[in-house]
Structure 1
């Protein structure tokens, strides 16, 4: 079954090992929380270059072909700060999921299932769905119908998930394995930051007592007691393809929040309110940015929402923080590009762990990781597919 598109368990394990060894070094960048960018002086802590050098190289230079022009240059200087953007770009590209050689091309899968036969006509949804959702539903419905017909699967015998959020993606695979009546699974996950991690070291995870965990799933990765961290999993959701074509991240809203954290630390750092804020990890001010007319307005609303007394700060004092940090906004933008470059590597590990989980099961005849969607339209574009014996 699907012999030409089969990827073996040992190859998947070797790629997981490659990724974990790589991320052991680079995950420190992905795990930086944007909120703490200025309070922790993140740029000077991690990068030995001006932000313009990072932005120019990651956004405006053409991508080199993976595996080419390996000069052996080190990404880090002697103080373990990033000093070579070209080397960083090359190594993140090499470890990105599309370049690991474990994904099954969608065209190959179609050829295996259909050969030269005439394909059925599938529902066109563009007349009543957004272009993004229409693209997803049309492609995925075709793949599901093909698998069902090829494997002679009857109605209601397949587990399907389109952008299953957080642990729901992992649970989808577990339900598939637990129910004998389910013969196939096609699952596209999303929201990696909402995954529960078995070996995460944060206080939040210790307070969350449940099982089974969303990550890792495979016995192979669990045996190494490996963990990403929430900030790294959030970085895995960053849309590399969209950013590189000019659809950037919401930099101003991130900048507002990072400067607000400076204000909170300097004006509430010794108070009971700030201590409570740190203990409960309540760093979320919500979607106040979209409702604010200026940084001063944003700060006023945020401080009120966090239960702090804003009367001690004048508008001019608040504006002074904005004026002081505005020239450093480019540092935040450049650092986020470094995180974006790592996104396909972290996402790759999460998805390969799910694929490895299926391949470890004795009653799974075939499983694969397939890019279904155009990442410009739908950044979470990979499906984990499995068929039982």
Structure 2
């Protein structure tokens, strides 16, 4: 079935291999944690250019302008710091999911099932949903209805997941495989940072997951003992297409957190409280930014939540940190753009691993990775689809 829209498992494996070789080099950028941006001098450690050069070039390029290519140009200088943004942009685009040649176009898939018969017979959503959710439900209901009719699927016999969080997306595919009454699956995942990783370097994730791991799923990728890391998986959620059209990332809240870490290091670095904080790897201050009237207010609330005493720090001392680092906020903004460019590559590996998992199963007749949604409306727009024999 769907012979013209099928993708061979060997092609999927070759693209996974290409992505892992690429990410072996580039994941170090994606795995940088915002918390450590200033305490570890991340910009000077990773980039050999002024932040203005990175920001202006990436935004300029994303808005449709072109620059002459320099064949063979190296992304890195002798000290392995990024020195050519144009080369970086090209290589990340080459390894992003839309350019890997493994996705099945939605129109081609529907054409195979319906020919010229599909018109306005599918669900039209009412106005009680947001425009984003209406878009998702309209498109996904069309796909689900098409598979149900084409495969003669009755009620409760198809597994459907719309933006299943973290491991739930992986579990959806496993449930589909283990339940004979399920004839097809259409799964759109999200929240990659909540995935459990079998081979992650940190032992923390293994302490909280006793069942099957969320990533990797395919035996092919598991054989390579490959891992992304939580920060890289979080980077995979960054909305490249939205940034392309001018939607900016929440830079100020990230900036606040990075400067707060400097304060913690310099004023609580030798204290018992800070030692406990680092030992438990608890770096989360939550949504305090949205509840704060200023950086001083944010700092005091955050320090209190982390179990520290800020009474010995004056308002002017705290404000001094803000004033010192504010001129360097552009470094954080530029570095986040480098992460954004990598997002489709990391997401692509996660999704291809899921597709490969289905293609490795003996009882799968057909499986594909299909872009269902407009990424401007719904950044997590890809569905893993499978049909049993």
Matched residue SS, 1:23: helix
Q: Deviations over 1:167-222 (max 9, x none)?
A: 00000000000000000000000000000000001131242341200000000000
Q: Whole-Å Cα distance in 2 between the matches of residues 211 and 68 of structure 1?
A: 51
Bigger Cα displacement from structure 2, 217-226 vs 124-133? 124-133
- 1:58–1:337 Cα contact (<8 Å) kept: yes
* 1:303 equivalent in structure 2: 303
List aligned pairs for 1:161-310, cutoff 5 A.
Answer: 161-310=161-310
Q: Deviations over 1:233-263 (max 9, x none)?
A: 0000000001111111100000000000000
- 1:66–1:93 Cα contact (<8 Å) kept: no
Matched residue SS, 1:366: strand
Residues 104 and 339 from structure 1, CA distance in 2 versus in 1: closer, same or farther, beyond 3 angstroms? Answer: same
With normalisation by structure 1, the TM-score equals: 0.98
* 1:92 equivalent in structure 2: 92
Shift, 1:120, TM fit: 5.1
Shift, 1:70, TM fit: 5.9
Residues 31 and 101 from structure 1, CA distance in 2 versus in 1: closer, same or farther, beyond 3 angstroms? Answer: same
Residues 353 and 2 from structure 1, CA distance in 2 versus in 1: closer, same or farther, beyond 3 angstroms? Answer: same
- 1:66–1:94 Cα contact (<8 Å) kept: no
Shift, 1:281, TM fit: 1.0
Q: Whole-Å Cα distance in 2 between the matches of residues 241 and 81 of structure 1?
A: 26
- 1:296–1:318 Cα contact (<8 Å) kept: yes
Shift, 1:68, TM fit: 9.6
Residues 58 and 156 from structure 1, CA distance in 2 versus in 1: closer, same or farther, beyond 3 angstroms? Answer: same
Q: Whole-Å Cα distance in 1 between the matches of residues 87 and 230 of structure 2?
A: 26
Matched residue SS, 1:58: helix
Q: Deviations over 1:322-361 (max 9, x none)?
A: 0000000000000000000000000000000000000000
Q: Deviations over 1:59-95 (max 9, x none)?
A: 1225779999461100000000000000000000000
- 2:159–2:182 Cα contact (<8 Å) kept: yes
- 1:66–1:99 Cα contact (<8 Å) kept: no
Matched residue SS, 2:62: coil
Q: Whole-Å Cα distance in 2 between the matches of residues 234 and 285 of structure 1?
A: 17
Bigger Cα displacement from structure 2, 168-177 vs 117-126? 117-126
Residues 346 and 294 from structure 1, CA distance in 2 versus in 1: closer, same or farther, beyond 3 angstroms? Answer: same
Q: Whole-Å Cα distance in 1 between the matches of residues 247 and 58 of structure 2?
A: 14
Bigger Cα displacement from structure 2, 117-126 vs 302-311? 117-126
- 2:198–2:206 Cα contact (<8 Å) kept: no
With normalisation by structure 2, the TM-score equals: 0.98
Q: Whole-Å Cα distance in 1 between the matches of residues 61 and 388 of structure 2?
A: 45
Shift, 1:101, TM fit: 0.1
- 1:162–1:188 Cα contact (<8 Å) kept: yes
Residues 67 and 14 from structure 1, CA distance in 2 versus in 1: closer, same or farther, beyond 3 angstroms? Answer: farther
Matched residue SS, 1:365: strand
Matched residue SS, 1:375: coil
Bigger Cα displacement from structure 2, 365-374 vs 122-131? 122-131
Q: Deviations over 1:11-43 (max 9, x none)?
A: 000000000000000000000000100000000
Q: Deviations over 1:288-317 (max 9, x none)?
A: 000101000000110111110011100000
Bigger Cα displacement from structure 2, 132-141 vs 57-66? 57-66
Q: Whole-Å Cα distance in 2 between the matches of residues 210 and 64 of structure 1?
A: 47
Matched residue SS, 1:213: coil
